Amino acid sequence: MRGGVLFGKFRVYSLKGRLRLLVALMILSMCLLVLAFMSFFGKVIKEREIHATLQEAIDLQKLYVDKWKSQRLSDIGYLAETQAARSLNMQEMGSQFRLFKKSHSDFDSFAFADKDGKFLLQMDETPAETSIGDRSYFLAARSLQANVSDVISGRLSGKPMLVFIAPVLNKDGAFAGAVLGSVKVSMLDSIVNEFKFGDNGETFLLNKSGYRLTKLKGEAEDEWTREQYTTDIYERALAGVQSREAYLNRSGERVFGAYAWTADGEWLIIGETRVRDVYKPYYRLLVALALSCALILLLTYFAATLFTRKISRVLAHLLYGTKRIRSGEFGYRIDPAVIRNAPSELKELSDNFNIMSDKLQTTVQLLEESAVVDHLTDVYNRRFLMNEGAKIEEASARAGNSSSILLIDVDYFKKINDTYGHLIGDRVLKHAASLLVDCVRRSDVVARYGGEEFVVLATNCPIHCGRELAERIRASFVRTPYRDEEREIAITISIGVSQSKPERKYGTNTLEDMIERADKALYRAKNGGRNRVECDDCGSAAPSGSRSDSDSG
């Protein structure tokens, strides 16, 4: 009876027409169910994906910011522990500040304040005050705590800056002042802007009070918005609440967001992306499905079932891919064979997924590589030398073997830069690094120490072998000038050599002691006419062992 009413309503009386109507209604119902399923569960899946992506990126950014902040505090702590700082030798301290700045470009300037907070030594850019004795960051340093200031204004430029400060103790262990290093707030932008979500998403930093540390999009470098954030994401962060709900940002747009506090709990990292940007590909997918449903009405039930099965298969692979990436497999790709017969929109979505997966893997690899490799010379950087080099030397010492340090300086490098330009100067440094790698063993560590200085850490190498290696390296530089299509530049080097000793005289570990003694030997080599090798104490090491060159490169 109901079927007759239905057929009568559509004025379909023939068997052929009724069959067509039943098939059409069945296919339409199935398509509507598929669309309803995608509208609800697809949206839920999309929200989970974007929140997972946001949180993973913010957590990775947190690690990067924490590491950067810790390294800058370590840098200031290193300057505060130097002999010049502890003896309050302003002239030597100023010289060390200038040298340190050359190899630590994150810092804009350095200064020293006495125990009352009055500046005794200042470089280019320091806090605007002449005395910082009542400032919270100085009071913390007086309590022997290295810390970072809130955003303050520079003395000369008036631009916003951060101050890293570490206490200086005199020889009696009493507080004698503090070393300060200023970093422009714009430096934080270059760190945080490594990550971006969509066309209009952004990542930014707030301090604990809710004031922004990084500039707004479109804001000039010397501007800084001194306005407190009161959005939901900040309130969630203060309460320690994680939520997937969208909220209104400062511009009144609905956004999804994620946050993470830095390790010291002083800075808040927030990532936001607009809701409409998140759902844009999702809505495109729904439109594609709706058009497909219109086409399915003209096809058979089998074709409709096959088509939806293919769509579901592609979506399943996309979802599986996001789970693999979430678990840390950043290079996971969707097999193109899986989507060969899928609609163009889904192919584009899968291709974009693969592109984003590759980009994420490349970004992670670059972050890991940038922590240990000098990008100009492709040898290890100073950070790797000081961290891993110390471990390598300690392992060699535990095995009962001596190690040698060669501190190498390219003679008259400033003259090369002034004569031929910085581009040729960079090529000369690359050439120098290549010669060093060719001269040493594979087990030796070659690192760029800063500027035109390099360090070779040779394990199982007493000082007389270290001197032989140094002479071999020096001769190699004399024999192998830098050449290109237009010029030939003779290069000589001065080398200071030192050997590990049971009792250290300088620094906090044996490696720092060796480098300091090699530096003094290098100073003698440069004062003695350059293009020469000087040892810390070549006579103290009897030639009881020899350096093995069987695996030298």
Residues 6+ apart with CB under 8 A from 46: 278, 279, 282
Q: What is the pLDDT of residue 266?
A: 86
Residues 6+ apart with CB under 8 A from 319: 45, 49
Question: Is this model's pTM higher than 0.85 or not?
Answer: no
Annotated active-site residue in 452, 453, 468, 534: 452
Q: What is the pLDDT of residue 298?
A: 64
As a dihedral over the C-alpha atoms of residue 223, residue 224, residue 225, residue 228, rounded to 10 degrees, the angle is -170
CATH 3.30.70.270 maps onto the chain at: 382-540
- In the DSSP assignment, the letter for residue 35 is H
Low-confidence ranges of the chain (pLDDT < 50): 1, 14-17, 304, 540-553
- Dihedral of CA 221/225/231/233: which sign? positive
C-alpha 17: how far from its chain's center?
A: 67
Place of tokens 């010289």: 95
Q: What is the pLDDT of residue 404?
A: 94
Instruction: Tell me, yes or no, if 452 is annotated catalytic.
Output: yes
Q: Are 191 and 68 in contact (CB under 8 A)?
A: yes
Q: What is the pLDDT of residue 547?
A: 42
d(CA 382, CA 392) in angstroms, rounded, equals 14
CATH 3.30.450.20 maps onto the chain at: 72-187
Q: Is 229 left (phi over 0), alpha (psi -120 to 50) or beta?
A: beta
Q: Which fold has domain 382-540?
A: Alpha-Beta Plaits (3.30.70)
Distance spanning both ends of the chain, measured CA to CA:
92
Q: What is the pLDDT of residue 5?
A: 60
The DSSP annotation for 470-498 comes to: HHHHHHHHHHS-EE-SS-EE---EEEEEE
Q: What is the pLDDT of residue 58?
A: 87
Q: What is the pLDDT of residue 299?
A: 64
Q: What is the pLDDT of residue 56?
A: 86
Q: Which CATH architecture has domain 72-187?
A: 2-Layer Sandwich (3.30)
Residues 6+ apart with CB under 8 A from 359: none
Residues 6+ apart with CB under 8 A from 42: 282, 285, 286, 315
- How, if at all, do strands 493-499 and 533-535 pair? parallel
Q: What is the pLDDT of residue 553?
A: 37
Nearest CA to 110 among 123, 119, 99, 120? 123
